Amino acid sequence: MKRWNAFWFATTPRHSIGAFRIILCAWFVEDFLSFLPGLDSLLVRPGDWLVPSAGLLWMGRFLPLLEAGDCLTALRVFAWILAPLALLGIGTRFSLIALALVNFLLRSWHSSSVYVSHASILPSLALFVLALAPGVRAWSVDALLEAWRSRRRGERFLWADRLAGRPAAVWPIHLILAAAAVVYVSAGVAKLRWAGGDWLSGRTLQWYLQGTAGKKRLGDSTQFFVANRDAPAGVKFRDPWGIDRIANSTMSTSAGRTVGSSRALCAAFSWATLALELGFAFLFVLPRAGQYALLAGAAAFHAGIGALMGIDFGGWAVLFLAAVDWNSVLRRAGEFLPGLHASRAA
């Protein structure tokens, strides 16, 4: 119990959940620019082709409303209103909770066609964590107004102290990083479990990076499948090969196709990927510098995925910014500005 309390509930001025709120909400605003208009095409999806995701099933009572396009349109309007409010910190707690719920419903609905938008899972969960986190009103318009009222009552304080708020429990930051660690380690284990030697030799990665090469031969296909040739003959009545799984989809870039042409490069990237993903098992036992190195490595990893496979996992990289000591950064920025004025005056 002592260790549990020490790990989750230590209070530290090192992290600022308020500053992280600004960063995460800014990412959501940017992401909404493409995500929300993209829902238009799904509005005409026939009911038979809706395969509810787990999230949509949990929110089951909203399902009939969601199937009607009107509700979805309203939810999108709410999302547009709530995201900037949460970003600026206006009615902070309420706008964050509402945004987390609306975003959850929209993403659940979007992923209800046998397509799991992995890139949105962790940021969406992080939004719930933020919504319930202590200290989330730091660096918000709400905090600014409260400080202004206090100043009018005659209280004396430093604005930066007042906006930064009191040191809060570290559990929201640790929870976001722990959730990321669980997903990374699972991804590493899945690679060993399902692809095994093929992953380590670089064959699987090469197969994906060369995927678009097959596009010309397969008409308009971007979605491939894999087969289990060893499946019993009795279950192979659909096709002679035993198609058994949906392959992940990529749109390899020219850089990706270049890497895909070299087995040695693919093997090097595969080993590096595995080391990074399984390395997340040690995230919380590493010294601080090691933690930062691992998180920076993961951010670079996602930049690499974007450059080679054209898949945007930017939201995950944004989560790692939770580990930064934003209070120090913002205070130093505050110190820098008067200094700048002084030097100009001189």
Partner 1 sequence: MTPSPDAVSARPRYDVIYDGDCGICEATRFYGERLDWLGLFRWRPNQEEGVLADHPHLKREDLDRAVHVVGCGRTLAGFEAMRFLMLRWPLAAWLGALMHLPGASIPGRAAYRWVADHRKTVLACRIGEPTILHKALASIFICAVLGVVGAGALLRVESWPLTCAPMFANHVEPDGARYSFRFISVDQSGKERELPSSAGGLPELRLKRVFFAKYYGSVDPGYEYGGIADDTPAKFEARMTAFFACFADEARKDGALPAGTLAIRLETIRDAEGPLERHTCGTYTLRDQRFRRAP
Question: 326: closest CA among 96, 12, 18, 86?
Answer: 18
The answer to whether 167 contacts partner 1 (rule: CB under 8 A) is yes
Please, what is the minimum distance in Å from the beta carbon of residue 142 to partner 1?
14
Please, what is the minimum distance in Å from the beta carbon of residue 213 to partner 1?
10
Please, what is the minimum distance in Å from the beta carbon of residue 341 to partner 1?
34
Nearer to partner 1, 251 or 333 (CB): 251
How many residues bind partner 1 (CB under 8 A)? The answer is 96
The first and second tokens of residue 250, run together, are 């990529």
| Contacting residue, 23, 71, 90, 187, with partner 1 by CB under 8 A | 187
Distance CA 256, CA 218 (A): 20
Site for partner 1 in 211-240 (CB under 8 A): 211, 214, 217-229, 231-232, 235-240
Stretch binding partner 1 (CB under 8 A), from 16-24, 80-88, 107-115, 140-148: 107-115
Using only C-alpha atoms, what is the Rg of the chain? 24
The answer to whether 134 contacts partner 1 (rule: CB under 8 A) is yes
The answer to whether 291 contacts partner 1 (rule: CB under 8 A) is no
Please, what is the minimum distance in Å from the beta carbon of residue 174 to partner 1?
8
Please, what is the minimum distance in Å from the beta carbon of residue 159 to partner 1?
20
The answer to whether 307 contacts partner 1 (rule: CB under 8 A) is no
Residue 165 zone, left/alpha/beta (φ > 0; ψ -120 to 50; rest): left
Please, what is the minimum distance in Å from the beta carbon of residue 5 to partner 1?
7
Site for partner 1 in 63-82 (CB under 8 A): none
| Contacting residue, 208, 269, 280, 326, with partner 1 by CB under 8 A | 208
The answer to whether 263 contacts partner 1 (rule: CB under 8 A) is no
Distance CA 27, CA 35 (A): 12
Residue burial 301-312, b: 16+ Cβ < 10 Å; e: rest? bbebbeebbebe
**Pairing mode, strands 225-227 and 243-246:** antiparallel
Please, what is the minimum distance in Å from the beta carbon of residue 98 to partner 1?
18
Stretch binding partner 1 (CB under 8 A), from 60-68, 70-78, 119-127, 324-332: 119-127
Instruction: Count the neighbouring beta carbons within 10 Å of the beta carbon of residue 124.
Output: 19
Site for partner 1 in 19-48 (CB under 8 A): 41-46, 48
Q: How many angstroms separate the first and last alpha carbons of the chain? A: 57
Nearer to partner 1, 42 or 160 (CB): 42
127, with CB counted inside 10 A (0-12, 13-18, 19+), is buried
Strand segments (E) across the chain: 11-12, 168-169, 225-227, 243-246
Please, what is the minimum distance in Å from the beta carbon of residue 80 to partner 1?
22
Question: 109: closest CA among 58, 152, 180?
Answer: 58
**Amino acid in position 202:** G
Tell me the C-alpha to C-alpha distance, in Å, between residue 257 and each of 98, 106, 148, 207, 309: 42, 34, 57, 10, 9
Nearer to partner 1, 88 or 168 (CB): 168
Nearer to partner 1, 160 or 195 (CB): 195
The answer to whether 193 contacts partner 1 (rule: CB under 8 A) is yes
Nearer to partner 1, 46 or 338 (CB): 46
Distance CA 346, CA 344 (A): 5
Please, what is the minimum distance in Å from the beta carbon of residue 7 to partner 1?
10
Nearer to partner 1, 48 or 287 (CB): 48
Site for partner 1 in 242-261 (CB under 8 A): 242-250
The answer to whether 327 contacts partner 1 (rule: CB under 8 A) is no
The first and second tokens of residue 319, run together, are 């989560």
**Amino acid in position 14:** R
